């Protein structure tokens, strides 16, 4: 199932992964009008969003001082 391997990554990686999922799965040009993304893919979007928010909450609890801006790697 989508997201099975997500426990293996660190918080920063999760942030990157969450943003990547949001971009790649939910945006971009649609040519066919018949996107061959499976139901599992939709689950993946949700998993990504949940993961992202969980990571943000983790970040909030961490020692990162307020006002810090984690800049995701290029």
Partner 1 sequence: MAIYLYCLTEPGCEPLAELRGIAGERVRALGVTGRLGAWVSDLPEDPGPASTELVRVHDRVVRAALALETPLPARFGQSFESDAALERALQGRTDLLERSLDRVRGSVEMTVRILLAEAGDALPGRPFEGGVGMGASVESRAGSPAIEGAGRAYMARLRERQRVSAELQRQAEFLQARVARAVDGFARGEVCSPVMPGAQSIAISHLVAREAVREYRLAVASLSKGEAALRLMVSGPWAPYSFAQIAGE
Tell me the site size for partner 1, rule CB under 8 A: 40
Contacting residues for 64 by C-beta, under 8 A, at least 6 apart: 70
Residue 57 φ then ψ, to 5°: -65, -40
What mask, x for binding partner 1 by CB under 8 A, covers residues 32 to 51? x--xxxxxxx--x-------
Q: Are 14 and 22 in contact (CB under 8 A)?
A: no
The reply on whether position 14 binds partner 1 by CB under 8 A is no
The footprint of partner 1 (CB under 8 A) covers: 2-3, 5-6, 15-17, 19-32, 35-41, 44, 52-53, 56, 60, 66-67, 69-72, 74
């Amino acid at each position: 199932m989508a997201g099975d391997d997500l426990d293996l990554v660190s918080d920063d990686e999760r942030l990157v992964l969450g943003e990547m999922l949001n971009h790649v799965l939910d945006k971009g040009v649609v040519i066919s009008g018949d996107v061959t993304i499976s139901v599992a893919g939709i689950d993946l979007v949700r998993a990504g969003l949940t993961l992202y928010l969980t990571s943000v909450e983790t970040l909030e609890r961490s020692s990162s001082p307020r006002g810090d801006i984690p800049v995701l790697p290029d």
